[in-house]
Structure 1
Amino acid sequence: MFSLFRENIRIAMDSIKGQILRTILTILIIAIGITSLVGVLTLVGALENTISGDFTSMGANTFNIQRYEFETINNNEKEKINPIISYRNVKEFNNRFRYPFSKTSIYFTGTRNAEVKYENKKTDPEVSVVGINENYLGNTGTKIDKGRNFTFFDIENNNHVCLIGSDFKKNLFKNETPLGKTISVRGVKFKIIGLLESKGATFKNNQDLRVLIPLQLARSIFTIPNINYGISIMVDDKQFLEGAQDEAITTFRNIRRLNPLEENNFGLERSDDLLNKIASITVYLYYAAWIISIITILGSSIALMNIMLVSVTERTREIGVRKALGAKKHTIAGQFFMETIIIGQIGGFTGIILGIAIGAGISMLANFSFSTPWLAIIAAATISFVIAVVSGLYPALKAAKQDPIESLRYE
């Protein structure tokens, strides 16, 4: 049995080498279908990893009070306009909210187009400046690479200190440590006390090109009207999360002076709720990827079957000779079936390599978090094998049923 299997492989390889151009074209047809599947799934997976990573950095024990809920508004419905979350709101909330084992962070983005100066150097006007309190880093999962975080006294005393993103080491501080240096933002000088770990960028929102400054000091620099503030609450243990949410909603409704019959005019979102909604969106991307890939793969299987049928026709006389020498039907079928399997597996392997390379390349250009797409690889390997089996079954049976006498007469 093993000798027959080895002989079938040898005959299949000889046939493949004898029709090298046809074999290459067949492999490319299969590879294109598998490449589309692996490439799209790799890219969608990288996108999902990137978005999920951004939100999971906030922690599973965190929730936010914000102006609107994070949801898609039906175009047929009139959009509800919620009032901004003002400084008076957040200050009153910070004074009233006293849920055990919780920390409250207050913040706002002063500008996304600041120019930062250091000595005779300056950045492009694309730096975000965020006013925060001492709990902001912990609640958002932001870590210090070097230096220290703000203290309660830094915030309350309006100390001219700041934390900067990791990208500043690439321009302003190429050959020196930024700690202890003084930078200027809108003419106000700040001493750098901390360098943040890199968080990357998502959809051109660069988390590594920002300056964090004390909240009260930021309010004195950025005095534009109607600034919208954000509130983030983190509890020490997830078992306290529901209770903290209920307490936060009640507290903020009282601050907004809402009666029991009125709906909330603000939004509350948990970090894991955001992840669930993102996951529900990426599911549709996976469906689209599978539909597109299956259509392409279906075309590949039809092409492979047609090519093998042509091969059977061209080798009709060879089939007759083999049968005249005593070859059985299952031997003839096995030879053609093995040839299809080998071609299918080579095409599948080629498609997997190309798909991963293309997906990884696009992910790198878009700053997505690439990870090895094991699901896509296993699916592609399985599909390429199934394609070979389905496409090779009919040509193999047709070859096995050839009449030896008629085959020997074939020219």
Structure 2
Amino acid sequence: MFSLFWENVRIALDSIKSQLLRTILTIVIIGIGIWALVGILSAVKALETTISGNFASMGANTFNIQQYEFTVQTNRSGEREKINPIISYNNVREFLDKYEFPSTKTSLSFQATSVAEVKYGSEKTDPEVQVYGVNENYLENTGTEIDKGRNFTFFDIQNNNKVCLIGSDFEKNLFKDEDPINKSISIRGVKFKIIGLLESKGSTFGNNQDLKVLIPVQVARGIYTQPNINYNISIKVDDKQLMEAAQDEAIITFRNIRGLNPVEANNFGIERSEDLINRIASITQYLEIAAWIISIITILGSSIALMNIMLVSVTERTREIGVRKALGAKRSTISTQFFMETIVIGQFGSILGIILGVLTGFAFAKIFEFDFSLPWSAIIWATIITFIVAVIAGSYPASKAAGLDPIESLRYE
């Protein structure tokens, strides 16, 4: 059985070699369709894995109070229909005083700058360091881990201690050959003692999350005094069962802080990390549908090309078919031979498309610094689809070859 199978494969390969140019063109057409499918799905998977991972690190039991919802309605000119006031420091301070839901931790933060220059002795970084003002709950609520040292304490924040946490990239430049813990760095002329080194989190959309410095929020406010600072509030609920109640209490508290009456809509946004992950998943679904549509149209064209090349092959090999039949070859033997040729051509196209698709997804992930993983489902589907296409495209040529009259075939010139 296996010897017959490999013999059919060998004959198919010999036949392919005899019409190499047409076969290569057909393989390329099939490969382009599979390339579109695997390439787009690889890129989408890398995007979804990276973004979902970043939001998932916040935890399913975390929600944020922010200026706007994740999606905001815009008018025809592209402007927001509703302009919400920023989350000011007075809003944040009042919320911390009034929000007392049990088993919750509230963090506040703001980005002071993204172009800071950090100095250590005679060394300094490029002006591309992000500086954040945070409180003692920031790390836990954002899923950030400490690699060395310790986190901020309540007393560090309340006493405005000049201490800081630094990203892992600082070990690669400022502190190449030494332990950064308990060393002092300078930001805008203010010295900070390093108490902790953060675990690496990589980059997202070119935003390096490992080149940042966290300092107490009041100290950051004193150094960076720009107006209209927009703060972020994050609430973590220890018991997920209390999530809805904690969220409702937060909305009521913040509405009171904003002075809204019962009939007025919220002029702020509430977002849970789960909601963001679900929305990202729904967006990537459209990209996946587009990948399938593009690949199906291309593969449909390749199936027609494959059928044509096999019909030409049947015509060119009419005398060969007549000789085989005269020597006793059965209809099923002739049919199987042509089926095998179409399947071999289809699988060559599949392999080409899968390789190009994986390389495209890998390049996309590297360029945008996403987490790449092989799209096994797309690879499996690509193999199945090309097999089905080969069977469908080879059915008519194989049937035509098997049905040729041996006498007429021997007379064919």
Q: Which whole-Å CA distance do the structure 2 matches of 1:89 and 1:4 have between them?
A: 79
Q: Which whole-Å CA distance do the structure 2 matches of 1:399 and 1:278 have between them?
A: 51
The alignment's TM-score, normalised by the length of structure 2, stands at: 0.96
* Residue in structure 2 matching 1:199, options 201, 209, 213: 201
2:166 corresponding residue in structure 1: 164
Q: Which whole-Å CA distance do the structure 2 matches of 1:273 and 1:2 have between them?
A: 54
Give the secondary-structure state (helix, strand or coil) at the position aligned to 1:279: helix
2:366 corresponding residue in structure 1: 364
**Gap change, CA 1:2 and 1:271, over 3 Å in 2:** closer
Task: State the one-letter code of the partner of 1:331.
Answer: T
Q: Which whole-Å CA distance do the structure 2 matches of 1:6 and 1:131 have between them?
A: 69
2:175 corresponding residue in structure 1: 173
Contact 2:29 2:298 in 1 (8 A): no
Q: Which whole-Å CA distance do the structure 1 matches of 2:247 and 2:239 have between them?
A: 13
CA shift for structure 1 position 68: 0.8
* Residue in structure 2 matching 1:374, options 376, 379, 383: 376
Q: Which whole-Å CA distance do the structure 1 matches of 2:160 and 2:258 have between them?
A: 28
* Residue in structure 1 matching 2:283, options 258, 281, 284: 281
Deviates more, 1:382-391 or 1:26-35: 26-35
1:314 corresponding residue in structure 2: 316
1:116 corresponding residue in structure 2: 118
Q: Which whole-Å CA distance do the structure 1 matches of 2:270 and 2:215 have between them?
A: 25
Q: Which whole-Å CA distance do the structure 1 matches of 2:191 and 2:319 have between them?
A: 89
Q: Which whole-Å CA distance do the structure 1 matches of 2:165 and 2:4 have between them?
A: 72
After TM superposition, list the pairs within 5 Å mapping 1:241-260 onto structure 2.
241-260=243-262
Deviates more, 1:131-140 or 1:332-341: 332-341
1:35 corresponding residue in structure 2: 35
CA-atom RMSD in angstroms: 1.6
**Structure 1 residues 360-391: Cα deviation after superposition (integer angstroms, max 9, x where no partner):** 12212211111121111111111111111111
Task: State the one-letter code of the partner of 2:14.
Answer: D
**Structure 1 residues 199-223: Cα deviation after superposition (integer angstroms, max 9, x where no partner):** 1111222211111000111111111
Count of residues in Structure 1 that have an aligned counterpart in Structure 2: 411
1:8 corresponding residue in structure 2: 8
Give the secondary-structure state (helix, strand or coil) at the position aligned to 1:171: coil
**Structure 1 residues 168-213: Cα deviation after superposition (integer angstroms, max 9, x where no partner):** 1222122222111111111111011111111111122221111100
2:217 corresponding residue in structure 1: 215
Q: Which whole-Å CA distance do the structure 2 matches of 1:180 and 1:215 have between them?
A: 20
Q: Which whole-Å CA distance do the structure 1 matches of 2:8 and 2:123 have between them?
A: 72
1:340 corresponding residue in structure 2: 342
Give the secondary-structure state (helix, strand or coil) at the position aligned to 2:71: coil
1:86 corresponding residue in structure 2: 88
* Residue in structure 1 matching 2:136, options 130, 134, 141: 134
Task: State the one-letter code of the partner of 2:107.
Answer: S
Q: Which whole-Å CA distance do the structure 2 matches of 1:293 and 1:3 have between them?
A: 35
CA shift for structure 1 position 17: 4.0
Give the secondary-structure state (helix, strand or coil) at the position aligned to 2:185: strand
Q: Which whole-Å CA distance do the structure 1 matches of 2:114 and 2:202 have between them?
A: 16
Q: Which whole-Å CA distance do the structure 1 matches of 2:316 and 2:104 have between them?
A: 78
* Residue in structure 2 matching 1:351, options 350, 353, 362: 353
* Residue in structure 2 matching 1:398, options 394, 397, 400: 400
Task: State the one-letter code of the partner of 1:406.
Answer: E
Q: In structure 1, list runs of 5 or more residues that go unmatched.
A: none
CA shift for structure 1 position 3: 6.0
Q: Which whole-Å CA distance do the structure 1 matches of 2:158 and 2:275 have between them?
A: 33
Give the secondary-structure state (helix, strand or coil) at the position aligned to 2:234: strand
Contact 2:23 2:309 in 1 (8 A): no
Q: Which whole-Å CA distance do the structure 1 matches of 2:212 and 2:82 have between them?
A: 32
Contact 2:136 2:157 in 1 (8 A): yes
Q: Which whole-Å CA distance do the structure 2 matches of 1:209 and 1:376 have between them?
A: 35
**Structure 1 residues 243-302: Cα deviation after superposition (integer angstroms, max 9, x where no partner):** 100110111111111111111111111110111111111111111111111122122212
CA shift for structure 1 position 237: 1.7
Contact 2:118 2:185 in 1 (8 A): yes
**Structure 1 residues 43-85: Cα deviation after superposition (integer angstroms, max 9, x where no partner):** 1110111111111111100000011111042333852111111
Contact 2:206 2:368 in 1 (8 A): no
Task: State the one-letter code of the partner of 1:357.
Answer: L
Task: State the one-letter code of the partner of 2:59.
Answer: G
Give the secondary-structure state (helix, strand or coil) at the position aligned to 2:172: helix
CA shift for structure 1 position 112: 1.1
Q: Which whole-Å CA distance do the structure 2 matches of 1:262 and 1:21 have between them?
A: 71
1:384 corresponding residue in structure 2: 386
Task: State the one-letter code of the partner of 1:173.
Answer: F
The alignment's TM-score, normalised by the length of structure 1, stands at: 0.96
Deviates more, 1:53-62 or 1:75-84: 75-84
Task: State the one-letter code of the partner of 2:66.
Answer: Q
CA shift for structure 1 position 2: 6.0
After TM superposition, list the pairs within 5 Å mapping 1:48-127 onto structure 2.
48-76=48-76, 79-127=81-129
CA shift for structure 1 position 12: 2.1
Task: State the one-letter code of the partner of 2:393.
Answer: S
CA shift for structure 1 position 19: 3.9
**Structure 1 residues 90-145: Cα deviation after superposition (integer angstroms, max 9, x where no partner):** 11110111111100001111111111111111111111110000000000001111
Q: Which whole-Å CA distance do the structure 1 matches of 2:68 and 2:364 have between them?
A: 33
Is 1:26 the counterpart of 2:20 in the alignment?
A: no
Deviates more, 1:30-39 or 1:385-394: 30-39
CA shift for structure 1 position 7: 4.1
Q: In structure 2, list runs of 5 or more residues that go unmatched.
A: none
Give the secondary-structure state (helix, strand or coil) at the position aligned to 1:167: helix
**Structure 1 residues 146-181: Cα deviation after superposition (integer angstroms, max 9, x where no partner):** 111000011011111100111112221222221111
Contact 2:72 2:80 in 1 (8 A): no
Q: Percent identity?
A: 72
Contact 2:314 2:401 in 1 (8 A): yes
Q: Which whole-Å CA distance do the structure 2 matches of 1:371 and 1:239 have between them?
A: 33
Deviates more, 1:68-77 or 1:241-250: 68-77
Q: Which whole-Å CA distance do the structure 2 matches of 1:72 and 1:336 have between them?
A: 58
Task: State the one-letter code of the partner of 2:402.
Answer: A
